[in-house]
Amino acid sequence: MKTRTAKLLILFLVTHLLSTQHIFSQEKTISGNVVDETGLPATGVNIIIKGTSRGAQSDFDGNYAIKASPGQTLIFSYLGMETQEQVIGTSATINITMKEDAQSLDEVVVTAMGIERAEKTLGYAVSSIKSEDFEEARETDVLQALQGKLSGVQITGGGGGVGTSTKITVRGLTRIFGDNNPLWVIDGVPISDSNSSDGGISGGANYGNRAQDINPDDIETLTVLKGASAAALYGSRASNGVIVVTTKKGKGKGVTITYSSTMRFDSPLRLPDFQNSYGPGSLGVYSEADGDNIKDASKGWGPAISSGTAYTDYAGNLQTFTSNPDLQKDFYDLGSTKVNSFSISGTSNEGKNNYRVSTSYSSNEGILPGSSLDRLNLGLKAGSELSDKLNSVFSINYINTGIDGAVATGANDPNILTSIINTLPRITNIDVFKPWVADDGVTQLSPVDADGTNNPYWIVNENQRTADTERFFGNVALTYSPIDHFSMLGRVGYDTYNTKYFRNNHKGTIGLLEGNYRQSTTSRNEITLDYLATYDNSFEDFDVTLRGGMQWNQRTTDIIGNIGETLTIPELFAPGNVESNVPFNNYSQTRVFGAFGDFTMTYKKWLTLNATARNDWSSTLPEADNSYFYPSVALSFIFSDAFNIKSNIFSYGKLRGNWANVGSDTSAYQLDYLYYPQSSWYGQFSTGGTFPFDGQLAFSGPNSLPNSNLKPENQLSKEIGIELGFFKNRFTVDATYYKTNTTDQIIALSTSPSTGYSSAWTNLGEISNTGFELELGIKLIRAKGFKWDVNYNFTTNETIIEDLGDLGVYTMASTYNGLTVAAGEGQSIGLYGNRFARAVDENGDTIEDQILVGSTGLRYEGNTERLGDIMPDFTMGLTSVFSYKGWRLSTTFDWKEGGVLYSQTVSNLRTSGLAAETAVDRETLFVDPNTFVDNGDGTYSENTTPIPSVQSYWSNYSAARIHESNTFDATYIKWRELALSYSLNKKQLKKTPFSSLRFSLQGRNIAIFNTSIPHIDPETNLFGSSSNGGGIEYNGLPSTSSIGFGVNVKF
């Protein structure tokens, strides 16, 4: 019996083995091409074997390959397309034409805490862009690649320096003090976007912001959560919106190798429009202070260049006035940017494991001589289905960034290059500034040294501005599903960077003749622990999801450095080589613990209710009042499905609305007295000294009076919106109206110096934001092999200061000449400065069109008043994409309307007589039109006194002390992007090892239109990415226009 059983068992095993071998012997490679209805390749279509997790994805040319057996079924699916099934027969080739699905709007977006939700169930507005948008732009700065493409988002570049910061705000400014930047989240984990600037000495330097560390080639999707309801689960840090980045992972079958290379050339987008008719001098006369140099400080008020006036050049040679119109252009280099990216990705174990390893190296040689940025990105992301119930995800990113020749910023720094370059006499050849240093290596050589300015080549070669950053960020996550419908997620996120800054002024620098240096290190790390439990199930007509979780976040910043003054040995920047050292250290640590819940219920797929609640406990608030609770509720109603509305015209309709109440805390150590070690002291009638002094240590208290009764800020947000689709969703509309009120603003209020403090912390004020957003999607053409898509966005936002208590006006930022950015009760955030004096009527009201002049016929200074709003009236963006067979042409325009901008560059050019407009009627005296004279008895007479000279007119009209004449309407239109690419088709690649090959041409910041601001790019930001200031340009470096080419290849 046992022998018979054994024989049967052996027979069964052999039969089973043979049948298995037969099945595997039937498995073969199925390949084909996937196209859309126009015949164009359908990229990224998912192909899976029905009933398994095995799959593949179509490449850039629509090609795919997968191993399967006859009788099995392939499922082809893609967002917005009808899902198709194809049974495998005897043929090894299956070609598919994907068709648009008018009712398919099931796009999944990543929302708060990394939760994926179908977009049609959302009760709030989000805006997203995908990887192909970054691939077309080939912009190394993620933020700059977004310009003009998202509603509700304003992005402002920082100028043409290497790595300069980019400022982003979402739905306006919600705070008059503190941070207005959105929170960045990568793969569910918050990371830092802090502004990298180094203050001190006499000005500062702009090294960019940390969002620039993100590798655009690693991004799968980027979603902006704009409202408080959308971002509520992220806690207090999300009150300014959230930018959620999901990175790429391994997909498809086997291994995919991708390589891309881009080369781009950069040049100034806009240089000032100079006059080239008049040389240096004053009132039409040129004189030399001695026989060595061009000494006259009045750069463009001398004789006509055509007069042939003689002068002695820098080399001691007798010359005559000759125009040099390319003076500024010759100073700037042709910049270049090279980007090389490489990645390997794939899956194994029938798709249960996925991985992606990437590296990117970018090298930017700036337009400023000697400036450069080099950045290395390394990334690893892996996921594994460890068992039927346990999944893991691991990612880590390493970034190394080095910047040389960062742009100096501020008002008083002697290294502000543009204030020198833009005011050189028009007879100057830039080569006369070479060499810039004498044989002794210390003495600076300059043909304009009598003006108290530095040789520009001395600045770029002798005075360094460097920053070196190493950064790691990543996360580890485990998801455990012990039973059906229930899962638990545990995640650890980490973000740390270390930046070493160095700045020096070489001995011999005019303004700092003895030299100095500043060296510092900023270390920042952030740890985030997340726990999220999820239950989801369906009950007849209802789909229910219930989530609950906790989050612990700790952020630590440690800044340590030294300032050394008065060098002994010229080129040795070390503590032992200076007369005085001022060491400094600034340490802070904050912790926030939050508990949250999320409930989502959908009825019959067309009505979704979502409610969230979170409570945070913050270490920065008083222990008795450090807890703040904030709920939100959102509703989505797809009325086209509810009422079964179907027609050839109307395809889809959805109403949505939400309400949210969000709290936020403040920065560390504002509650109690914190004393810092003091390293030096200064006396009113002495030179001061250093500590320890006579064996004694010293400590200094805070500059701002602490307040142990601070309360959390509170933000109340309401939003309604509608989404519509017409003509099988070939025309879509997404419109949103919102209103946000932020109360109990935590601000540092200025106090009298007699208190011993410069300011005091308090809760004060209310600010409101009301806005409207519109996004239109238009599929204009769908023909054989040809597609044309247009996307349009519009945003308007009004920020009003509703309440400032007894304060009236709160100054948010200021400059040395009295120009301020301030919040005035009942008004928007504005620019305040001096205006020309004007006549007043019998009621004391200003008569705007009657500007007053004095006895010389020149205007004079009046009162300090509001000059205008620093924020635009509206912004618009337009993107158009043409596709024809393998060709693709895309372009983006960006329109900003309204707001004001003050330009110090314009003031410098006009007062020095070098701006083109100052040469008009140079030798003709005229009466300043539409001006009046105060008769002294309450009446005014029309002015009839001619100006003394054109020089005195412009020197007075555009003087830095009178801000009105240098303040302009900030409207502009920019041609942001133009990209043309060609992808070889399958037939062309047949005899190559490539699965896809694409060539491209790209242009960035191509042109400016519709601007009333002369001489400069109106898109500028003096204050960097972290400040609330705006509306001021201060001798900024010209922004750049770029053109380049690239190649992308896959194996």
CA dist., res. 87 & res. 77, Å (int): 15
**Does residue 687 carry a pLDDT above 70?**
no
**Backbone dihedral angles phi then psi of residue 678, each to the nearest 5 degrees:** -100, 130
State pLDDT tens for residues 670-684.
Answer: 888 777 777 666 554
CA dist., res. 171 & res. 795, Å (int): 9
How big is the CA angle at 205 (ends 199 and 206), to the nearest 5 degrees? 115
Q: Which of these, 18, 41, 36, 16, lies nearest to 887 by C-alpha position?
A: 41
State pLDDT tens for residues 634-655.
Answer: 999 999 999 999 888 999 999 9
Between the alpha carbon of residue 913 and those of residues 330, 428, 853, 959, the distances in Å are 20, 15, 21, 12
**Does residue 658 carry a pLDDT above 50?**
yes
Residue positions counted in the chain: 1051
State pLDDT tens for residues 900-958.
Answer: 999 999 999 999 999 999 999 898 899 999 999 999 998 999 999 999 999 999 999 99
* Structure tokens that stand for 286 in this block: 């040129």
* Structure tokens that stand for 779 in this block: 């599929």
pLDDT at 644: 92
**Does residue 56 carry a pLDDT above 50?**
yes
Residues 240, 178: contact at Cβ < 8 Å?
no
More confident residue, 818 or 652: 652
Dihedral sign (CA 1017, 331, 328, 420): positive
Residues 151, 791: contact at Cβ < 8 Å?
no
**Does residue 712 carry a pLDDT above 90?**
no
Contacts of 115 (CB under 8 A, 6+ apart): 233, 547, 598
State pLDDT tens for residues 142-158.
Answer: 888 899 999 999 988 87
State pLDDT tens for residues 317-337.
Answer: 788 999 999 988 999 999 999
CA dist., res. 75 & res. 50, Å (int): 6
Q: Which of these, 959, 792, 790, 950, lies nearest to 860 by C-alpha position?
A: 959
Contacts of 593 (CB under 8 A, 6+ apart): 550, 551, 552, 553, 616, 617
Nearest-10 Cα torsion for 696, 697, 698, 699: -150
Between strands 759-763 and 704-705, the pairing is parallel
Q: What is this structure's pTM?
A: 0.88
**Half-sphere exposure (CA, 13 Å, Cβ side) for 136?**
25
Reduce the DSSP state of residue 349 to 3 states and report it. Answer: coil
CA dist., res. 356 & res. 22, Å (int): 34
CA dist., res. 234 & res. 626, Å (int): 17
pLDDT band at 435 (very low <50, low <70, confident <90, very high): confident
Q: What is the mean pLDDT of residues 988-1011?
A: 91
pLDDT band at 185 (very low <50, low <70, confident <90, very high): very high
**Across the strands, what pairs with 762?**
747
What's the distance, Cα to Cα, between the start and end of the chain in Å?
Answer: 60
Contacts of 1 (CB under 8 A, 6+ apart): none
pLDDT band at 101 (very low <50, low <70, confident <90, very high): low
Domains, the chain, ordered by start: 22-97 (2.60.40.4130), 126-268+335-671+706-828+871-899+972-1050 (2.40.170.20), 829-868+914-964 (no CATH)
pLDDT band at 112 (very low <50, low <70, confident <90, very high): confident
Reduce the DSSP state of residue 907 to 3 states and report it. Answer: helix
Place of tokens 């190559």: 992
**Does residue 300 carry a pLDDT above 80?**
yes
**Does residue 703 carry a pLDDT above 90?**
no
pLDDT at 907: 93
Query: For a pLDDT cut of 70, what percent of the chain falls above it?
Result: 91
Residues 581, 563: contact at Cβ < 8 Å?
yes
CA dist., res. 308 & res. 331, Å (int): 25
Residues 665, 621: contact at Cβ < 8 Å?
yes
pLDDT band at 289 (very low <50, low <70, confident <90, very high): low
**Across the strands, what pairs with 393?**
383, 477
Q: What is the mean pLDDT of residues 380-394?
A: 93
pLDDT at 27: 74
**Backbone dihedral angles phi then psi of residue 899, each to the nearest 5 degrees:** 80, 170
Query: How does DSSP classify residue 226?
Result: -
State pLDDT tens for residues 718-742.
Answer: 999 999 999 989 999 999 999 999 9
Between the alpha carbon of residue 237 and those of residues 27, 190, 365, 616, 704, the distances in Å are 53, 10, 36, 11, 23
Mean pLDDT in the chain?
87
**Does residue 701 carry a pLDDT above 80?**
no
pLDDT at 542: 94
State pLDDT tens for residues 451-494.
Answer: 567 888 998 999 999 999 999 999 999 999 999 999 999 999 99
**Does residue 6 carry a pLDDT above 70?**
no
